[in-house]
Structure 1
Amino acid sequence: MILTTLGLMSGTSLDGVDVALLETDGRRIKAFGPTGYRPYSGSERSLLRQALAEAVHLERREARPGVLRAAEHAVTLAHAEAVAAFLAQNRLTAQDLDIVGFHGQTVLHRPERRLTVQIGDAQALAKAIHIPVMSDFRAADVEAGGQGAPFVPVYHRALVQSLQREGPTVVVNIGGVSNITYIDGDQTLIACDTGPGNALLDDFMFRRVSQAFDQDGRMAAQGTADEAWVARALALPFFRLPPPKSLDRNDFAALALGDVSPADGAATLTAFTVAAIAAVVPLLPKVPQSWIICGGGARNFTMMRMLRERLAPATVESADAFGWSADAIEAQAFGFLAARGMKGLPLSYPATTGVPMPMTGGVIARP
């Protein structure tokens, strides 16, 4: 049975809420629907940054001490507003949708402690939008000993299968953290986080020039990357670990650039993200023939140029080149995962998160 799903995603880059409609049976994509976006305001981003700082002390996934309670309310309200605006803009009603996939905002990811925390009140959201909401996608995986991330490989596989390409293909999502999905035919599906995505760069831009991110990679394009610094950063043990492996947004936040210009700092951090993605190649079964880039990094022209240089002779293309929505893929993925969750299909696998067996997941809140 084909379901009409609405996926919602608020990523580690803290930019806002992505919304995407998808028609799917949980195995194949029947049709892409419209997409939408509700940016976080400056005050909302500030509140979320405070929540990230406070979340490092969490011991229980359901605890919401201090600013975390206010942040959860803000996240829930922002998602409700995003859905309401999306429905109005596209002349849809709640009755047109079967399920909403609500990821929430990750504030802590510590799978080694069997702890992953996404804030957002699914029950309150369901009541506000009058549509069933599936959330808590990662919890079962982490409780079973998996990494709980990356969590969209099954959707990446559905996208790549629609292309009917030969040879190994990698889909790279560059959000706050970068992750890859390696697809080779119907059987081989491998995934892992590769390292920082835009998080270090965004935080650097915010501190140094009060900009939320490096628009189009313009700042990095004016600078020179410190390749010795990048090489030292890549010497960290994480980069030698085989897949599956995952990261928290702030795992590399302690890396200090020193006294550098904004342009050189942006170039260095962009190069670090790219080098970390390239470093996964020796850990894969075969050298990929093609790379498809989605997420915010796909709009960073300097990052895309560096990726093409690092990964040659393989092809490196933006997801937009295939008619995919580079910005909405993660939102679409959580609509897809909601459909799979409703049908009891696995959301994660041993080779994607390290979970002992294929795992279902997701909890439904009804209006």
Structure 2
Amino acid sequence: MTSIYIGVMTGTSMDGVDIVAASFDPLVLHGTHTIAFDPDLKDELMALTLPDDNEIDRMGKADVALATMIGHGINALIEKNQINRNQIKAIGSHGQTIRHRPEQGFTLQIGDPNIITEITKIPVVSDFRRRDMAAGGQGAPLVPAFHQAIFQHPSINRVILNLGGIANVSMLPANNPDDVYGFDTGPANILMDAWCERYTGHPFDENGDWATHGTPIRSLLDRLYAHEFFAQEPPKSTGREDFNIDWLDDQLIDWRNDLEYNELEDTPENIQATLAKLTVRAIKKAISRSGMENGEIYVCGGGAYNSHVLEQLRWRLRKNNWSVQSTDVLKLSPTWVEAVAFAWLAMRFVQHLSGNLPAVTGADGYRILGTITAV
């Protein structure tokens, strides 16, 4: 009987909860399901990523609400796809990150696994990041180990680029498993989505079309890129704590007070184009410094549908013969890659196998990631 694992992912963009049912060796998807956040819950989760009043009580309520939503979503996935529950070995639930502070040695994801287990009657593996962090790692990114297992090629250099709220890369040198590494490159959808919603009312810039109507502002781009994160060497990770709309507003105030400020450049479209270019610049730098002279870049996450960003990447990497395509080409939709990764991490936990890559996270060694909530 095929063993099936369920993966649940809620990312930095907070655009919904992605749920998949998968088996491995070979990878097969048995069902997918997405749940949109209730607007009030999304607002609360967003607010919890930054310090505020009455955090513990508010976090507790959100923890219960999110877990309840996930539990019922998993049941809906199982029923919709008529999956045999006896085949499901475990659920891998990442939860929603509301604080990620590797420099202080902690990270926090909510979405109570006890409630998910109670609703689904299936064991839940959760809390994936803190074991790596306890071993001296960043606790992120975790998906490069999955990318290596599924996507590494024996003769072609590959980069798996996840464009979620934060962009991260997995460097997969051809036929060289010991040299795989990865890290967060900086903001992706997290700033572009927030800016787009503020000025257009749309939650994201579909296809990057709005950004194409603007022109990047060099002086603003340089100011944003001066954030200390971009100068850090890997391993490194970041999140909404570092890059958020309030940070962007502060940078805009400073820029507008600068001698280089040009009022004619200061349009919402130009700022959106600048945010897109900020994402692309950081990714291009990461790939250029990888030591791989050419190869294939496969993009996943919501940003894989931002054709403007992908075209900018192709243009900036044109001299290096890098192709830029969606993971659809590898027969895995960009929408589901991260959720499948947490199904894979649940499988690794159940099989008592490590889930991290020390070269990626900076941990002292390989570790079995997660804790289990039994039925």
TM-score (norm 2): 0.90
Alpha-carbon distance change, 89 to 217 in structure 1, aligned in 2, over 3 angstroms: same
6-15 vs 349-358, which deviates more?
349-358
SS of equivalent to 2:146: helix
The residue number in structure 1 matching 2:240 is 249
Aligned match for 2:134, one of 106, 127, 143: 143
Quick check: 1:239–1:280 contact (8 Å CA) kept in 2?
no
User: What are the Cα deviations for residues 215-271 of structure 1, in whole angstroms up to 9, with x where unaligned?
Assistant: 221211211111332233223332232221110223133133457333222211111
* 1:219 and 2:210 matched: yes
Higher helix share: 2
* 1:191 and 2:187 matched: no
User: What are the Cα deviations for residues 281-307 of structure 1, in whole angstroms up to 9, with x where unaligned?
Assistant: 243232341111000110111111111
2:315 alignment partner AA: E
Q: In structure 2, what is the Cα distance between the partners aligned to 1:32 and 1:102? A: 17
Quick check: 2:50–2:241 contact (8 Å CA) kept in 1?
no
The residue number in structure 2 matching 1:91 is 82
2:178 alignment partner AA: Q
The residue number in structure 1 matching 2:259 is none
User: What are the Cα deviations for residues 27-53 of structure 1, in whole angstroms up to 9, with x where unaligned?
Assistant: x44423322111112222112112223
* 1:12 and 2:31 matched: no
Alpha-carbon distance change, 41 to 351 in structure 1, aligned in 2, over 3 angstroms: same
Q: In structure 2, what is the Cα distance between the partners aligned to 1:46 and 1:250? A: 16
The residue number in structure 2 matching 1:299 is 305
SS of equivalent to 1:98: strand
* 1:347 and 2:355 matched: yes
User: Is the radius of gyration larger for structure 1 or structure 2?
Assistant: 2
User: What are the Cα deviations for residues 38-71 of structure 1, in whole angstroms up to 9, with x where unaligned?
Assistant: 111222211211222347x99xxxxx61311111
Alpha-carbon distance change, 303 to 99 in structure 1, aligned in 2, over 3 angstroms: same
Q: CA deviation at 1:110?
A: 0.3
SS of equivalent to 1:65: helix
Quick check: 1:243–1:283 contact (8 Å CA) kept in 2?
no
User: What are the Cα deviations for residues 150-195 of structure 1, in whole angstroms up to 9, with x where unaligned?
Assistant: 011111112213xx45232110001011100001123321010000
Q: CA deviation at 1:329?
A: 0.4
The residue number in structure 1 matching 2:48 is 51
User: What are the Cα deviations for residues 77-133 of structure 1, in whole angstroms up to 9, with x where unaligned?
Assistant: 221121122112111243231110000000000011111000110011111111111
The residue number in structure 2 matching 1:170 is 159
* 1:279 and 2:270 matched: no
Aligned match for 1:201, one of 192, 196, 208: 192
Unaligned runs of 5+ in 2: 257-265
Q: CA deviation at 1:72?
A: 0.9
Unaligned runs of 5+ in 1: 59-63
Report the count of equivalent residues: 356
* 1:231 and 2:228 matched: no
Quick check: 1:76–1:120 contact (8 Å CA) kept in 2?
yes
Question: Superposition RMSD on alpha carbons, in Å?
Answer: 2.0
Q: CA deviation at 1:317?
A: 0.5
2:74 alignment partner AA: V
Quick check: 1:29–1:158 contact (8 Å CA) kept in 2?
no
Aligned match for 2:70, one of 64, 79, 96: 79
Quick check: 2:99–2:241 contact (8 Å CA) kept in 1?
no
164-173 vs 76-85, which deviates more?
164-173
* 1:267 and 2:256 matched: no
28-37 vs 113-122, which deviates more?
28-37
1:216 alignment partner AA: N
Quick check: 1:7–1:21 contact (8 Å CA) kept in 2?
yes
Q: CA deviation at 1:2?
A: 5.8
The residue number in structure 2 matching 1:61 is none
TM-score (norm 1): 0.92
2:345 alignment partner AA: L
Q: In structure 2, what is the Cα distance between the partners aligned to 1:234 and 1:261? A: 19
Q: CA deviation at 1:322?
A: 2.1
The residue number in structure 1 matching 2:344 is 336
